[in-house]
Each structure stands twice: as structure tokens, then as C-alpha cells.
Structure 1
Amino acid sequence: MKGAELLWSYVDVEPIAFNKGFYTVDVKYFYKITAEAYCGLSRPKEICGLATYDKRTVLFGSEGSVRIFSSQYMPKESDLQNFEKTNLPTGVVEVVDPVALGIKVTESCGCGDCGLNDIPDCICRCFEDDIVICDEGKKLFVTLGQFSIIKLERDIQLLMPAYDICMPEKDCSGSGGSDDPCDLFQKFKFPVDEFFPPKYSDYIKENGGNCQNGSCKTGKRC
């Protein structure tokens, strides 16, 4: 196998009955597979095919019963309100390029179900030739490694508090009459005591007397 390319991912979200707030997210991946086929001693021929993979997951997306209307402009359409819609969460899939792990050739099972029904037109246009959908001949089964993140997104309301502003009526920068903030800062006394812990003599001054052996003359404990 020469490579694998992820063409598109179809995402469908449906609520789960009797489980409020939970939804099933069905994802269908469409891959373009490129391989080489050998016929005897001739040079290999490049072949392309379509592979699909279905994945289902259950996620919590909360719930709501409101109806949403919007006047958003729609290109190439009349500038009318969009149709009414509910606040159903939106399924989002983030994927990286797939990793080709293996490939094998198998005989047709003859069951008549190849799993490639209802292929979208956008996928068919990615191939130069028409996609052959039948249950005859040989089939290629590929093994791919796919890293993806599946999540639910929805619009929510945020309550932002608003406060009135009050413009100052007079200058309160200082009484010196200077507008330079550096001149005002030079008048501040350096707070030496804030950088050093208090000494033993400072405790004596706070208690109003001399402290000896843990007791003060004023009768207070130090």
C-alpha cells in the first residue's frame, strides 16, 4: 500500500431516549487508498479505491428546550431570517492523517453487501474513474491507524456584570503642585521595617516595659 488519505468525515448527532443530556455521535470516515498491483513480471500498476469506517460514541451535551431564530446573512440567497432551529449541540471531529498499517487480498464473500452504499457526490469527484461497487472478484482489506477527537459544542449564555464609572473631579496626585509621578514617589519614606523581621526590643516597646526571662514588668507575657 502506497498511502491513505482521509477525504471526508460525516457526523450525525441524535439524542438518546430516556437519557436526558446524552447524545450519540455517529462518524463515518471516507478514505482514498492507493496501492500497487503486480501482474506477472510486468511493472506494477497503481490502483485507487475507497474505504470507509464507522464509529459511534456517546457524549454528554446538556439539554435545552428553546428555539433559535437568526437574521444572519446567507450568500447567494435572499436576506431573510434563517429557518427556526433548536439548540441541539454540534458534533465536531478533529483528525490527523491516517497511518497505513497493513493490507491483504481476500476473495469475495458473495453476500452482496460491500458497505459502500450511498456514496456522496463530493467523494466520487475525488476519483478520476467511476467507483465500481459490486460483490465480484477480489477485495482489498486495509488496516489504518486513525487518531481523532470527537466532541460536542453548543452556544451558551454568559452573564457579564457591568459597573458604572466615576470620573474624578479634581487632581489628587499630591499637594506639591507637581504633575510628575516620580517627584511624588521621591517623597515617600523607604519602608525599611517591611524588609526585616521585628527585633526583640520591638516587642518590649509594644508591651510598654522591659521583658526579662519571658516576663514583663508590666505583668504581660512576651
Structure 2
Amino acid sequence: MQPLVDCAANVRVRSVDVISVYIDMQPIPFNRGYYSIDLTFFFDVSLDLYGGATIGSEHVNGISIFNKKVILYGSEGNVKMFSSESGRDEADLQGNKVLPKATVQVAQPVALSAKICDHCSCGYEPCCVIPECIANRYGGEFETMPQKNTVYVTIGLFTIVQIVRNVQMLIPAFDFCIPDKECVTSSDNPCELFRKIDFPTDEFFPPKAGDGGCGCGK
């Protein structure tokens, strides 16, 4: 698709989808309990190229890559965990310290804009090598042919990055509860059942901006 990009005079971004997010988490030595999380986002970008050799537009798909680093508190744990589910041959692989797990939730990205620039004239360089499993979605390795133009996209992204750790919690438990009463059957008349339902006023009058509250019940 590179010759189409080189000949294009304008570009429009159609949509953006998240292919995958690679997560690397490392403890921070000088700040115990804190972890550095490096996120690499891979996006599938759908584009329309205009002004090429043919009349009209050409539809192409490409990959956009974005890196983000966050530092979060994940507490400390000095215990080791062993499990009966692992075989005897895997015993030497057990016994590592219990570390937290980093997770990221990504909402559907928003395609904001796209532009064509001379290759590397915008000050951007590829931030990582595209993994083989992602490159296979586009037919294998990307060509290393000379590039005249490069498409740069602006993407709106909403994410939630968390560190999750298993902890011990004390929850009150009760014995089995055996029912000693029979259920009272209600009327089989559907009209009587319908009359007991409150009228859904909120469905007909959606809340205005600012009426949604803070989500804490106040």
C-alpha cells in the first residue's frame, strides 16, 4: 500500500480499532511498593486516500502504535505461593514472590484526524518493532521499501490502568438456610401485575447535563 500513500494528496481517517495492548510491569527500586507500567497500544486504522493516480479514493488499512508509561502503587508482598495444581517437574518453577498484575481497559478509540507528511519530517519515529502475530493480520512482514509519505493519525483514547493483587479478606459466613415457608402465589392476571409497576418517568425525560450526579448516591 505504500505507493498509494506516496501518491496521495489528502487523507481521511474512517475508524480506529484496538488490536492489542502489550503490558510490561517492573518494580521501582527506589520507591518500594510502586511499579512502572509500560503500555504499547497497537491500532488498526482505516483510511481513505485521495488524489492518487485514479479518480476517487483508495481505501487502505494500516497500523498505528502508541506508547504510554504510568506509575502506580501495588503494595508489597514478601510471601511465596505454591500450588498443588503444578506437577513435580514444575516445582522448581514455583515459589516466586507473589507480584501484582497490571490490567488495562480500553474504550472504543475515537478517530479525530489524519494528515500526510514527508517521511520522518514530522519528528516522529517508529516506537517499536511490530510483532509477527500482528503483522500476519496484514499478510506478513511489512515491506522495507523507501517511503516518500507517511500518514499520521490523531486518536482519542480512554483507558483505565489498574494494578490488581490478591489479598486475604474476612467475610462473615452463615450456615445453610433451609426455607420453612411456602411461597405465596400471586394472581395470574397480567393486568393486575402490570398495575403494580411504577410508571417509568425517567425513560421519557432523560436527565440534563449535570443532573447525573457524581455516582456516589448523593
Superposition TM-score, scaled by structure 1 size: 0.63
1:154-169 aligned at under 5 Å gives the runs 154-160=165-171
| Equivalent-residue separation in structure 1 for 2:143 and 2:125 (angstroms) | 11
Q: Which of 65, 79, 88 is the aligned partner of 1:66?
A: 79
Q: Which moved more, 1:131-140 or 1:141-150?
A: 131-140
Secondary structure of residue in 2 paired with 1:55: strand
CA pair 162-148 structure 1, distance change in 2 beyond 3 A: closer
CA distance, structure 1, for counterparts of residue 126 and residue 58 of structure 2: 25
Q: Is the 8 A contact 1:114 1:133 kept in 2?
A: no
Matched, 1:28 2:54: no
Q: In 2 relative to 1, CA 20–42 (structure 1 residues): closer, same or farther, beyond 3 Å?
A: same
User: Of 30, 33, 49, which residue of structure 2 is paired with 1:18?
Assistant: 30
Q: Unaligned stretches of 5+ in structure 2? A: 1-12, 176-180, 182-218
Q: What is the identity percentage for the equivalent residue pairs of Structure 1 and Structure 2?
A: 30
Question: Could you list the runs of 5+ residues in structure 1 that have no partner in the other structure?
Answer: 166-179, 181-222
The answer to whether the Cα contact below 8 Å between 2:66 and 2:127 also exists between their aligned partners in 1 is no
Shift of 1:71: 3.0
Equivalences, count: 162
Q: How big is each residue's C-alpha offset from its partner over 1:101-136, in whole Å with a ceiling of 9 and x where there is no partner? A: 00010001379x831533222211222464235662
Using the alignment, how far apart are the partners of 2:105 and 2:29 within structure 1? 27
Alpha-carbon distance between aligned partners in 2 of 1:137 and 1:17, rounded to the nearest angstrom: 44
Matched, 1:3 2:15: yes
Match among 128, 131, 135 for residue 117 of structure 1:
128
Which residue does 2:155 correspond to in 1?
Answer: 144
Query: 1:3 & 1:60 partners in 2: Cα distance?
Result: 35
Name the residue aligned to 2:56: 43
Q: Which has the higher contact order (CA 8 A, sep 6+)?
A: 2
Q: CA deviation at 1:155?
A: 0.8
Q: How far apart in 2 are the matches of 1:125 and 1:87?
A: 35
CA distance in 1, matches of 2:121, 2:94: 46
Relative to 1, partners in 2 of residues 1:50 and 1:62: Cα closer, same or farther, differing over 3 Å?
same
SS across alignment from 1:122: helix
The residue identity in structure 2 corresponding to 1:45 is E
Alignment of 1:150-189 (within 5 A): 150-160=161-171
Counterpart position of 2:117? 106
Of the two, which has the highest radius of gyration?
1
- DSSP 3-state at the match of 1:124: helix
User: Of the candidates 71, 86, 102, which is equivalent to residue 97 of structure 2?
Assistant: 86
Please name the residue that 1:172 is paired with: none
Structure-2-length-normalised TM-score: 0.64
Distance 2:19 2:38 in 1: 17
Structure 1 vs Structure 2 CA RMSD: 3.0
CA distance in 2 between counterparts of 1:156 and 1:95 reads 25
Question: What is the CA–CA distance in structure 2 between the aligned matches of 1:62 and 1:148, rounded to whole Å?
Answer: 22
Q: Given the superposition, is the C-alpha separation of residues 57 and 116 from structure 1 closer, same or farther in structure 2, using an over 3 Å criterion?
A: closer
Over 4 Å off, 4+ runs: 78-82, 160-163
The alpha-carbon distance between structure 1 residues 134 and 56, as it changes in their structure 2 partners (threshold 3 A), is farther
Paired with 2:126 and 2:96, the residues of 1 have a C-alpha distance of 32
Distance 1:134 1:53 in 2: 23
